Structure 1
Amino acid sequence: MAVVKHYLKWPAALLLAVFVLSGCSREPEVIGFNGMTMGTTYSIRWVDTDESRIETLRPLVDNLLKEVNQQMSTYIEDSELSRFNALPAGGSLEVSPQLADVVTQALRISKLSDGAFDVTVGPLVNLWGFGPDGRIIKAPSDEKIEGLRAEVGYQNISVEGNALSKSGHQYVDLSAIAKGYGVDEVAALLEQQGIKDYLVEIGGELRASGLKPGKEDWRIAIESPVAGERDVERVVSVSDTGIATSGDYRNYFEENGQRFSHTIDPRTGRPITHKLASVTVLRPNCYEADALATTLMVLGDEAGPAFAEKHGIAAFFIIKQGESFVERSTPEFDSFLQEVN
C-alpha cells in the first residue's frame, strides 16, 4: 500500500533568520514585508528610519519577481523557459539576457561538478513526481527511467549571446538556481534604492548585506534535519553573503515503507540514497550558493565534502548516523559558526 506524504514545501534551504528589532521609530530599525513568489514565500528586511518606504518598495519587488518568474518558471506555460523547452530537437530561441546568464552559470557549475548538477534533469524530476506534472504514488519503472536518461545531459545545451540552443529533446529546469538568482536581483534592487543593510530571502535561500542595528552581523539559524520538528542545529553570523541549504527530509514520497527523496541524481536518474541529510553553502552571491547546495546534496556525504574542500567552498554538512546526526564543515565555513543560545 503506497503512502504519500504531502508537505507545504518549506524551502529546501531550511533557514530561519534571527532578527533583533529596536523599539524607537526615530532610530534605525529592521523593517520589511513578506510575499509569495515562485510557489513559495519571500521575506525582505532592511535597516531604515522610514517605514513608509515599505509601500514604495513592495510593488517594485513584486514586479521584479514576476519578471524573473516569467523568464525562468517551468510552471508558467508561456514563460521564456517553457517556450524553450517546447522547441523540437535542435531548436534555438532568443531569450532575455537574464535567462541567458542564469543558464550560462548553470552550465558552468554542471561542468565543474561533472554532471552532479544538471539543469536538464527536469524530465526525471517530473517522472518522479516532484515537478509541475504533480505527485506520484508509485516509483516509475526502470524502463521509463532509462528512457528519459537519454534526454538528460547539460552538454546538449548551449548559449551564444542571448540565444539558447539544444541538440536533442532536452528540458531545462532552473529550480535549483532560480530562487537564488531572484534573491540576488532583489538585493541589487535594494542597493539601487540606497539600501545597504538588508536580508533577502526567497524559499529559504538568502542574501545578507551590511549590519543590523547595533553594528551586528545578521544571524541565520540552520535547521536541524528532523522531520516534523523545527529545531535549530547551528547559527551562523554573516554579512555580504549568499546562503542556501539543500535537504532531503521534507519533500519526498513513500511507497511500501521506502522513502524517495525529491533530489534526483542526474547521473543515475534516481533519487539520492546516501546519508547526507542537508548541506548549507555560503557564497558571495545567492545563485551560486543555491546551485552548489544542490550539487553537494547530490554528491553525498563522502564526495560532497571532498568537492567542497577541493574548490574552497564554505559548506556545512549534516550527516545521518544511525538514529542521530553528525556535523562536518569545511575550514571556510567554520569562521561563520556561532554558539546556539
Structure 2
Amino acid sequence: MFSCGRDEKEIHLTGPTMGTVYNIKYVDTDLITANELQKLVDTELLNINQLMSTYIKDSELSRFNQWNSTEPFPLSNATLFVMQEAKRLGELSSGLLDVTVGPLVNLWGFGPEARPEKIPSDADIIAARERVGLNRLKLNVTSARKTHPNLYVDLSTIAKGYGVDRLAEILQQYNIHNFLVEVGGEMRLSGKKSNGQDWRVAIEKPLTKERAVERIISVGNNAIATSGDYRNYYEENGIRYSHLIDPTTAYPINHNLVSVTVVHSSSMTADGLATALNVMGKERALALANKNDLAVFLITRENDDFKEYTSTKFEQVVTVH
C-alpha cells in the first residue's frame, strides 16, 4: 500500500502494520526516493511483526510462548533488546509494567478470548497468577528462559514504540532529520515541518464516546506516547472494569487517572512508561516521574470534570500551543 502526498517538499507515506497503520511525514531528500524508502519501511515493519507479534502463530515470540519448557530458547537481538527494556521498565515501576500479565488480561476479558461470562472467581485469579511475573522471565545475551513452562510474554505495550524508533533510525540513515513517524498513536518527531514550523501533536481529551483535543503541544526531537483506559472497559452491576490490569493485585485498576502522556527520547520507552504510569494512579505516577526526571502529562477525572497534572520535566521540554 502506498500513499504519497506532497506539501511543498513534505512527503507522506502510510500503510498497514501491527493491526493499525503507520504514517511518516518528512522533508524530501535527494538520497532516497519515496518509493525506495517505503519499501525499506514496509520490510522493517514486517520483520518486527514476524519477531514480536502474538497474532502471528509462527512469530519468534509466539514460538517462545509455545515453548512449554524451562530450557533456554534462542532469540534474535531485536526481541531480546525489547524484552530487556520491558524488564527494566517493569523494575522501575515496581512491577506495574509486566509483559507476562496476559493470562490475567485474558481472564478479565480483554484478550483475544473476549469478555468472560462472569467476573473471575478468586480461584481462577490465583491459578492465572501462577503463570504471571517478570521474575519468571530470565534473559541472557542470546536466549530467554522461563522458570514456569507456561509463562506467556506479550510485548504489545512497547513493540509499536520499538517499531517507531526503528523507522526513525532508517530515516536518519538517509540524512532525513525533519520527520514525524507514527504507528498506532505512538510518535517520534525530529526537526521541523517543510514550512519551518514545529511539528504539533494533539493530546486527546479522554472522552468515551467522542473525540476532542485537550492540548496541542510541540516536543522537539522526542517521542510521545499516550495511554488511557477511557475506551477499553466494560461495566457490570454498576462497577467499571478497565482493560488495564494491576499485576500486583490481579484486578483492573480503579483509580481516577484516565490518561497518561510521556515524552521521551525513545518511543519504546515512552510507550511502556505510559502504560506503567497509568496503572499506578496520579500520586505514584507523578512521584516516579519527578524522581526519575521523566516528562509526564496526566489527566484525572474529578467530580465529573478533567484535571491536568504535569511533572517538572514536562514543563521544561514541551511547548504548549
- Normalization by structure 2: what TM-score? 0.93
User: Residue 139 of structure 2: SS of its match in structure 1?
Assistant: strand
In the alignment, is the contact (CA less than 8 A) between 2:219 and 2:318 conserved in 1? no
After the TM superposition, which residues 153-232 of structure 1 pair with which residues of structure 2 at under 5 Å, given as runs?
153-168=133-148, 169-232=150-213
1:43 & 1:163 partners in 2: Cα distance? Answer: 33
User: Residue 320 of structure 1: SS of its match in structure 2?
Assistant: strand
1:311 correspondence with 2:275: no
1:136 & 1:81 partners in 2: Cα distance? Answer: 26
2:119 & 2:21 partners in 1: Cα distance? Answer: 29
After the TM superposition, which residues 261-272 of structure 1 pair with which residues of structure 2 at under 5 Å, given as runs?
261-272=242-253
Q: Which residue of 1 aligns with 2:46?
A: 66
1:78 & 1:313 partners in 2: Cα distance? Answer: 37
User: Residue 120 of structure 1: SS of its match in structure 2?
Assistant: coil
User: Residue 170 of structure 1: SS of its match in structure 2?
Assistant: coil
Please point out which of 32, 35, 47 is paired with 2:12: 32
Q: Which residue of 2 aligns with 1:86?
A: 66
In the alignment, is the contact (CA less than 8 A) between 1:236 and 1:336 conserved in 2? no
In the alignment, is the contact (CA less than 8 A) between 1:279 and 1:296 conserved in 2? yes
After the TM superposition, which residues 41-120 of structure 1 pair with which residues of structure 2 at under 5 Å, given as runs?
41-48=21-28, 53-120=33-100
Distance of aligned partners of 1:324 and 1:108 in 2 relative to their CA distance in 1, 3 Å threshold? same
Code of the residue aligned with 2:95 in structure 1: it is G
Q: Which residue of 2 aligns with 1:6?
A: none
In the alignment, is the contact (CA less than 8 A) between 2:6 and 2:12 conserved in 1? no
State the identity as a percent: 48
**Structure 1 segments of 4 or more deviating over 6 A?**
none
1:256 & 1:62 partners in 2: Cα distance? Answer: 46
In the alignment, is the contact (CA less than 8 A) between 1:243 and 1:282 conserved in 2? yes
RMSD: 1.9
Question: Higher relative contact order at CA 8 Å, sep ≥6: structure 1 or structure 2?
Answer: 1
Once the 2 structures are TM-superposed, how far is the Cα of residue 22 of structure 1 from its aligned partner? 8.1
- Which stretches in structure 1 are left out of the alignment for 5+ residues? 1-20
In the alignment, is the contact (CA less than 8 A) between 1:234 and 1:337 conserved in 2? no
1:292 correspondence with 2:273: yes
Code of the residue aligned with 2:110 in structure 1: it is F
User: Residue 156 of structure 2: SS of its match in structure 1?
Assistant: coil
Distance of aligned partners of 1:145 and 1:33 in 2 relative to their CA distance in 1, 3 Å threshold? same
In the alignment, is the contact (CA less than 8 A) between 1:22 and 1:213 conserved in 2? no
**Most deviating of 41-50 and 83-92:** 41-50
Code of the residue aligned with 1:117 in structure 2: it is L
Once the 2 structures are TM-superposed, how far is the Cα of residue 49 of structure 1 from its aligned partner? 6.3
2:117 & 2:289 partners in 1: Cα distance? Answer: 35
Q: For this pair of structures, how many residues does the alignment match?
A: 316
Deviations 1:13-52 (A, max 9, x none): xxxxxxxx985x4xxx3221221111112111111167x9
2:177 & 2:319 partners in 1: Cα distance? Answer: 23
